[in-house]
Amino acid sequence: MSDKKTPVLEVKELGIDFGGLTAVNDLDMSIYNEEIIGLIGPNGAGKTTVFNLLTKVYNPTRGSIIFDGQDTAGKTVVDINKAGIARTFQNIRLFDNLTVLDNVKTGYHNNIKYSPVSAVFRLPGYYAKEREIEGKSRELLEIMELSEYADVTAGNLPYGAQRRLEIARAMATEPKLLLLDEPAAGMNPQETEDLMRMIRFVRDHFKIAILLIEHDMQLVMGICERIYVLNYGTLLAQGLPAEIQSNPEVIKAYLGD
Amino acid sequence: MRFLSNLINGLGLGSVYAIIALGYTMVYGIAKMLNFAHGDVIMIGAYVAFFALTRFAVPLPLGILAAVVCCTVLGVVIERLAYKPLRQASSLAVLITAIGVSYFLQNGAQLLWSASPKMFPSIISSGAIELGGLSISYLTLITIATCIVVMVCLTLFINRTRTGSAMRACSEDKGASMLMGINVNQIISITFAIGSGLAAIASVLLCANYPTVTPTLGSMPGIKAFTAAVFGGIGSIPGALLGGLLLGIIEILSKAYISTQLSDVIVFGVLIIVLLVKPAGLLGKNIREKV
Amino acid sequence: MKEKRNIFSILLDDRHRARTISYTMVAVAYIILEVMLKSGNLSSLFTGLLVPATCYLVAAIGLNLNVGVSGELNLGQAGFMAVGAFSGVCVSGILKGAVPAVPRLILAIIVGMLLTAFVGFLIGIPVLKLQGDYLAIVTLAFGQIVMNLIMNLYVAIDSTGLKVSFVENNFELQTGGKYLINGPMGATGTERIANFTAGTLLVVFALVVVYNLIYSRNGRAIMAARDNRIAAESIGIDIAKTKMMAFVISASLAGAAGALYGLNYSTMVASKFDYNTSILILVYVVLGGLGNINGTLIATVVLFLLPQLLRGLQDYRMLIYAVILILIMLVTNNEYLKTKFSVLRRKKA
């Protein structure tokens, strides 16, 4: 469907108001298949709000979001995931009492299905599908370098591993577009380095587009092919990493007047 | 005329619900928990008043005072022992604990004072005021008047005193209140104290209207008053009044015109419909979890 | 901020062990009790407790699915038992004479279960739109409504057929006709066809349903929705649907338990299934550990039988249950003890 010519995600004049406050305004954005895009900006610039708009946690006040050729107006959070957008959260949201493996398995909820009847009465369909879910989940754990933790309860994981598990769980929904909200937050330079490698691998292996919010400029400049800069809810600049780094407006926004 | 007198009886019952609902709504507003044991605090208040008035034959004001003091202390003790250690726990854990406390009080009362009902002495003369063919009993009038006095005092307290504004601050944002130097634990204790004191007043009014004292006396009015609090919008003090009065009227009218046996079904039906149509209640506000 | 849900002590790494222990416990208990029963070594008091115990086990296993696994406090489980009990009694009463006891019992349980599942579904539509405390209080309200409605229900049968009436009791029965449900008097003249073997099989059925559900796609979705609603939605899980599944299955197990319970007594009043019974079942589940099925089994048996056998405890029974509820919550949510426990667990691993 989407190739490198037609965008997988097209955002037009997107805006949202909370009460009288405009959190995001007049945002245009296009993401093409197999791109890694950065969304940066000072604190409070509305980056996470953009993610919440894209995943329908909030309904936009203005503008449109076209994903994979379809208008997303009227869709729910669940619909959006089924359509092919998966995300991680800035404040990690795992299923704390489930094991790492089960967290990932849960991600396959809509892609590998069998009925509750075949689950309760253990019909043959159950075993075949469960084996498939297990195989694919372990593969994702391998990719995100979490195999050693498979049977650990997610709530007991080290911080960095929790962030990687969120990515693995999101990937289990087999998305076309992956949204990462500060994936490297709280990681040390070595962990960040490893994470960059994994993100690239995920993109290459699954051939998906990735949009990420990040404050770690080493990561952003290192792996993003294009960057959007948000300030006070509006687009301040967009372009290649080198262009963004030398853009005086961006520097001003970050350093203040 | 019959309708009008039913309406006034409804207001009387509703006034009792409103006073009980205040306890639920204040605690919910500040401690963000459903104090399931509130109804049973009423029951304890009823027993205290009963024993004070019969066995010790104290005058009525002293009997009421005894009930208020006991309930206030009880409310604070419950909060300190059972709820305070659970400030950081899940709401499921807090609710189960509250149910445990409710059960404890009910069964403790049953062991202490047996399950057999005790007759509450009549404390208000049984006369009535005649108003153009409409007869309103003194009891109903006093009940409604008490409710008005309680509402006015509480509103003044919340809006005009330092403690009151600290309470409002805590209900908005506990973290910020703490940073502003408000002793949040103390405010929560005060809230429980006031709510439980009101429960004692409600218990005397309740027993004046329905003079049988049993260990389960508080549970039904408790649940109904909670319904009233939700109806009006939990956390809102005018909401508790509005919800209480409306619920009392609904209950009396459905008893009079639909069916006595099914009046509870109707009252609970109201709760369910309210929660579905307007979960924040008539005067409440919606809260949304931040993503 | 991370949500605190650490009271759910589901031992997922020991999943197979947990299941094996459950089935073994039930089998061993059944064999021992059945041998004692057949050899006449069981007191009549104890014998009379066997079927009710299995009923409470089934209802508690169901409730654990709702409260422990799905994380929603249901205070109306007894209401669902009531639906099962009175529909089961009616089915058995109608088929009396036409169908022998054993298939009639099975049929009554199935009808009780399906009807309760349907009622659970209807109630679930409004209830599951709510969360937390509101949800709990509405299940309580529904439990009361169901009990109140049954107390106003009149069902009778005579040579002209089945008669059903609500609030008004105005049947003119032919000779030989009788009431199956007589308003506030409840079910009277029920033929007692329930037995311990049926009860045990029902417990096994409940275990199979709940365990197989937990360790499946749907079970994972239910637990995901409990642990983090927002994250569950973000991976495409329909919260309302998964919660409904847990709620309906939990209700239907209570209905099956109720049917068996109703057919174990010749008379049964609806007020038997009031709020207190719901709380009783909740105590079993909480003491056993939320989400822990083996805990539920042990807690139910101990808490159900102990006070009955130690008559002196009878008066203090409810008081002790109340203290148990409070203490368990205080202990399992104590930060100090929690860290101690997790240290212990890590050492073990």
Map tokens 């197999």 to a residue: A34
pLDDT at B291 over 70: no
Q: Residue A2: which pLDDT band, with cuts at 50, 70 and 90?
A: very low
Mutation site, C235, C237, C250, C343, interface A, largest A CB count within 10 A: C235
Mutation site, C217, C241, C244, interface A, largest A CB count within 10 A: C217
Higher model confidence: residue C69 or residue B2?
C69
Rounded to whole angstroms, how far apart are CA atoms C56 and C325? 18
Pick left, alpha or beta for residue C247 (phi over 0 → left; psi -120 to 50 → alpha; otherwise beta): alpha
pLDDT at B200: 96
Residues of C in contact with B34 (CB under 8 A): 133, 136-137
Residues of C in contact with A95 (CB under 8 A): 223-224, 227-228, 231-232
Q: Residue B125: which pLDDT band, with cuts at 50, 70 and 90?
A: confident
pLDDT digits (tens, 9 = 90+) for B51-71: 999 999 899 999 999 999 999
pLDDT digits (tens, 9 = 90+) for C254-297: 999 999 999 999 999 999 998 889 988 998 998 888 889 999 99
Q: What distance in Å separates residue B169's CA from the closest CA in chain A?
A: 22
- Note whether C342 contacts A156, CB cutoff 8 Å: yes
pLDDT at A112: 94
Map residue A14 onto helix, strand or coil: strand
How many domains would you assign to chain A? Answer: 1
Q: What distance in Å separates residue B90's CA from the closest CA in chain A?
A: 14
**Any CB–CB contact under 8 A between B179 and chain A?**
no
Residues of A in contact with B291 (CB under 8 A): 48, 52, 57, 89
Q: What distance in Å separates residue C250's CA from the closest CA in chain A?
A: 14
pLDDT at A72 over 60: yes
Q: Rounded to 10 degrees, what is the CA torsion of C315, C318, C319, C324? A: 140
The number of C-beta contacts closer than 8 angstroms across A and B is: 4
Higher model confidence: residue A164 or residue C128?
A164
- Note whether A97 contacts C6, CB cutoff 8 Å: yes
Q: What distance in Å separates residue B223's CA from the closest CA in chain A?
A: 33
Rounded to whole angstroms, how far apart are CA atoms A99 and A161? 13
Instruction: Give the chain C residue whose CA is nearest to the CA of B260.
Output: C167
Rounded to whole angstroms, how far apart are CA atoms B201 and A6? 72
pLDDT at A240 over 60: yes
pLDDT at A117: 92
pLDDT digits (tens, 9 = 90+) for B226-255: 888 888 888 888 999 999 999 999 999 999
ipTM associated with this complex: 0.92
Rounded to whole angstroms, how far apart are CA atoms A21 and A16? 9
- Note whether C231 contacts A94, CB cutoff 8 Å: yes
Whether A1 maps to a domain, the answer reads no
Rounded to whole angstroms, how far apart are CA atoms C50 and C33? 9
Average pLDDT, chain A: 92
Lowest mean pLDDT among A117-126, B178-187, C168-177, C334-343: C334-343
pLDDT at B43: 96
- Note whether A81 contacts C6, CB cutoff 8 Å: no
pLDDT at B88: 85
pLDDT at B199: 96
Residues of B in contact with A48 (CB under 8 A): 291
pLDDT at C8: 45
- Note whether A93 contacts C238, CB cutoff 8 Å: no
Residues of C in contact with A92 (CB under 8 A): 2
pLDDT at A1 over 50: no
pLDDT digits (tens, 9 = 90+) for C11-57: 444 567 888 899 999 999 999 999 999 998 888 888 999 999 999 99
Structural domain boundaries, residue C262:
12-309
**Any CB–CB contact under 8 A between C316 and chain B?**
yes
Rounded to whole angstroms, how far apart are CA atoms B192 and B77? 9
- Note whether B96 contacts C286, CB cutoff 8 Å: yes
Map tokens 């969360």 to a residue: C131
The domain limits of chain B are 2-277
Lowest mean pLDDT among A5-9, A75-79, A242-246: A5-9
Q: What distance in Å separates residue B83's CA from the closest CA in chain A?
A: 24
CA B44 to chain centre: 13
pLDDT at B189: 94
Could you give phi then psi for residue C168, rounded to 5 degrees? -85, 135
- Cβ distance A173 to C236 under 8 Å? yes
Whether C331 maps to a domain, the answer reads no
Q: Residue A154: which pLDDT band, with cuts at 50, 70 and 90?
A: very high
pLDDT digits (tens, 9 = 90+) for B98-120: 999 999 999 999 999 998 999 99
pLDDT at A147 over 80: yes
Higher model confidence: residue C297 or residue B265?
C297
- Note whether A89 contacts C234, CB cutoff 8 Å: yes
Rounded to whole angstroms, how far apart are CA atoms A255 and B163? 43
Map tokens 């808490």 to a residue: C303
DSSP code per residue over A151-165? TSBGGGS-HHHHHHH
pLDDT at A4 over 80: no
pLDDT at C178: 84
Chains that touch A (3 or more CB pairs under 8 A): B, C
Residues of C in contact with B275 (CB under 8 A): 126, 130, 134, 138
pLDDT at B288: 57
C:151-210 residues touching chain B, CB 8 A cutoff: 151-152, 167
How many domains would you assign to chain C? Answer: 1
Whether C252 maps to a domain, the answer reads yes
Rounded to whole angstroms, how far apart are CA atoms A58 and A49? 8
pLDDT digits (tens, 9 = 90+) for A44-70: 889 999 999 999 999 999 999 999 999
Residues of B in contact with A57 (CB under 8 A): 291
- Note whether A129 contacts C217, CB cutoff 8 Å: yes
Rounded to whole angstroms, how far apart are CA atoms C21 and C68? 19
pLDDT at C11: 40
C-alpha pair distances (Å), B210 with each of A146, B218, C59, C269:
66, 12, 36, 26
Domain B2-277 adopts which CATH fold?
ABC transporter involved in vitamin B12 uptake, BtuC (1.10.3470)
pLDDT at C341: 66
- Note whether C3 contacts A96, CB cutoff 8 Å: yes
- Note whether A173 contacts C235, CB cutoff 8 Å: yes
**Any CB–CB contact under 8 A between C106 and chain B?**
no
pLDDT at A56: 95
Rounded to whole angstroms, how far apart are CA atoms C76 and C278? 6
C-alpha pair distances (Å), A55 with each of A58, A79, A89, B107, C165:
8, 9, 12, 51, 52
pLDDT digits (tens, 9 = 90+) for A204-214: 999 999 999 99
Nearest neighbour of C228 by CB, restricted to A82, A94, A112: A94
- Cβ distance C251 to C80 under 8 Å? yes
Map tokens 């009031």 to a residue: C274
Average pLDDT over residues C141-156: 91
CA A179 to chain centre: 2
Average pLDDT, chain C: 88
- Note whether A120 contacts C212, CB cutoff 8 Å: yes
pLDDT at B89 over 90: no
pLDDT at B290: 62
- Note whether C237 contacts A112, CB cutoff 8 Å: no
Query: Which pTM does this prediction carry?
Result: 0.88
User: What CATH number does residue A130 fall under?
Assistant: 3.40.50.300
Percent of chain A clearing pLDDT 70 (strictly above): 98
Rounded to whole angstroms, how far apart are CA atoms B133 and B135? 6
pLDDT at A224 over 80: yes
- Cβ distance B233 to B282 under 8 Å? yes
Q: Residue A11: which pLDDT band, with cuts at 50, 70 and 90?
A: very high
Q: Residue C97: which pLDDT band, with cuts at 50, 70 and 90?
A: confident
Q: Residue A158: which pLDDT band, with cuts at 50, 70 and 90?
A: very high
